[in-house]
Amino acid sequence: MRSAVVLAAGRGTRLRSSKPKVLHEAAGRPLLGWVLHALAPLELDHIVVVIGHGAEQVRAYAESLPIPGISCVVQEQQNGTGHAVRIAMESGALDAATDVMVLAGDVPGISTETLSRVFVERGGAAAAVVTTRLDDPTGYGRMIRYGSRITGIVEERDASPEQKRIDEINTGLFAFEAQALRDALGQLTTDNAQGEEYLTDTVAYLAQTRTVVGLEVDSDEVEGVNDRSQLATISSTLNARTLDRLMAGGVGIVDPSSTYVDADVVVEPDALLLPGVMLHGATRIASGAEVGPYSRLTDTVVESGATVAFTVSTGAEIGPEAQVGPYTHLRPGTVLHRGAKAGGFVETKKAVIGEGSKVPHLSYVGDADLGKGVNFGAGSVTVNYDGFNKFHTTIGDGAFVGSDTMLVAPIEVGPGAYVGAGSTITTDVPADALAIERAERRTIDGWGARNRERHTKQSSSEPTSPTESGQKDN
């Protein structure tokens, strides 16, 4: 039975954040999430996540993922990697395991293919260690070899000057024969510079009587995250991988250098992403849709033939052939049906805009249902809030709302009705009726000239200096 131990107890002090290290996001997914998603296709019997700092937050995230076999154990005292693995092995979840992989929870670039190879490469050896080579290996454990065999790993703080010149480093990814790991963990001590139980010391112990093999991989795949700079670098790398995958699958991306797509976003073939696009969360872009330029969509669905430009959207559904933008804000609960339009400087919230209906520009539609073929004029507003509660507006099929109109909810405008421009409508409008609700015009002849004259006289009579106003110099 194959299982894995994921080490996710660290604080990540160099990130200077109260958030647990492994929950920091890279390319739209927490670091730990990348590791667990890479493990998922291996169909392991158990994945034990060792947690510590921010334990409950990390537990909640790990156990929320749709990946079977995940459980968490808490490392109350941070006494080293060997101590963390021992806690996992003693938890009971791995009692039946025959093969155990151990890896860090902050290596988001690791691939399923490499993880699978580690199990294969171990073969009948006691352990397999994944290594890489760095031009500057400072800070990492160095691989000690005798010919092609690995005989040990020495940590930076315990390394001699000669050992520090070795450029092959330990990546923290291992595969063990389970019983060999149990035996080796029982031999660990804290006799080292950090006073901790090093998992790496198991390698020297096992190499005395058994074979330990190495698997060298590219450094990009096993790079960890220790500070904000490394987090930004790995995010960029992962985003580039996502974009390459999308383009290989037939998605058009005009400028990859300015395009950002989260890991779990779905973009179908023949969709087109223009420069400056950012797609987050559970967003889905259908084939034939065009998004951008400079649009940020979160948890938004864009159906085939729709166009979205210069838009911020969260939790919206944009139907087939709908048009959104420019400079449009779609808030949660917005639904645009086929051919609907939310144009320039329009904001919507909990608004259903029916097939072929138009909110062309400079309007707010909140807590409202617009039927088919509705025209909602420029500068018009559904007045949905009285300071305490939100109220609903319903506009029937084919209705026409003139520009600069206030619809004071709760209110219903019937099918085919017209509302005159500049109206403030406070009661329902029957179907096919014309509603005009304005204050009666009052014209006062000559008022403008008299007003200017009055202000001119006031200005000329005002004091022009402290002396003229009766004040004395101090």
**Shortest CA distance to 373 belongs to which of 400, 351, 394, 348?**
400
Q: What is the DSSP letter of 264?
A: T
How many Cβ atoms are within 10 Å of 374's Cβ, its own excluded? Answer: 24
CA distance 195 to 202: 16
CA distance 321 to 422: 31
CA distance 150 to 213: 6
pLDDT for 438 beyond 90: no
- Look at residue 92 in the predicted model and tell me its pLDDT: 93
Architecture of domain 2-222: Alpha-Beta Complex (3.90)
The CA angle 196-200-201, to the nearest 5 degrees, is 75
The CA angle 53-3-120, to the nearest 5 degrees, is 125
- Look at residue 464 in the predicted model and tell me its pLDDT: 54
- Look at residue 36 in the predicted model and tell me its pLDDT: 98
CA distance 419 to 399: 8
- Look at residue 465 in the predicted model and tell me its pLDDT: 53
Contact present, 358 and 339 (Cβ < 8 Å): no
CA distance 11 to 59: 15
Each residue's pLDDT tens digit, 2-61: 999 999 998 888 999 999 999 999 999 999 999 999 999 999 999 999 999 999 999 999
Per-residue pLDDT band for 460 (boundaries 50, 70, 90) equals: confident
CA distance 239 to 37: 16
- Look at residue 459 in the predicted model and tell me its pLDDT: 79
CA distance 109 to 131: 15
Each residue's pLDDT tens digit, 378-428: 999 999 999 999 999 999 999 999 999 999 999 999 999 999 999 999 999
What is each CA distance from 223 to 3, 142, 450, in whole angstroms? Answer: 22, 15, 78
pLDDT for 148 beyond 90: no
Burial of 167 (0-12, 13-18, 19+ CB in 10 A): middle
- Rounded to an integer, what is the distance from CA 37 to the centroid of its chain? 15
Same fold, 2-222 and 244-435: no
Contact present, 359 and 371 (Cβ < 8 Å): no
Instruction: Work out the average pLDDT over 364-370.
Output: 98
**Shortest CA distance to 105 belongs to which of 70, 138, 139, 76?**
70
Each residue's pLDDT tens digit, 220-243: 899 999 999 999 999 999 999 999
pLDDT for 195 beyond 80: yes
277-281 long-range contacts, CB within 8 A, separation 24+: 280/28, 281/28
Token pair of 34 as six digits: 């990348």
- Look at residue 462 in the predicted model and tell me its pLDDT: 67
CA distance 466 to 308: 61
Q: Which are the catalytic amino acids?
A: 361
Per-residue pLDDT band for 88 (boundaries 50, 70, 90) equals: very high
* pTM: predicted TM-score of the whole model, two decimal places: 0.88
Rg of the chain over Cα atoms, rounded to whole angstroms, equals: 33
Q: What is the enclosing helix (H) or strand (E) of 121?
A: helix 112-122
Q: Say which residue the tokens 């500070």 belong to.
A: 227
Token pair of 53 as six digits: 């700092």
Half-sphere exposure of 430 (CA within 13 A, CB side): 1
Contact present, 434 and 420 (Cβ < 8 Å): yes
**Shortest CA distance to 348 belongs to which of 327, 361, 360, 332?**
332
CATH topology of domain 244-435: UDP N-Acetylglucosamine Acyltransferase; domain 1 (2.160.10)
Domain ranges of the chain: 2-222, 244-435
Token pair of 139 as six digits: 């800070």
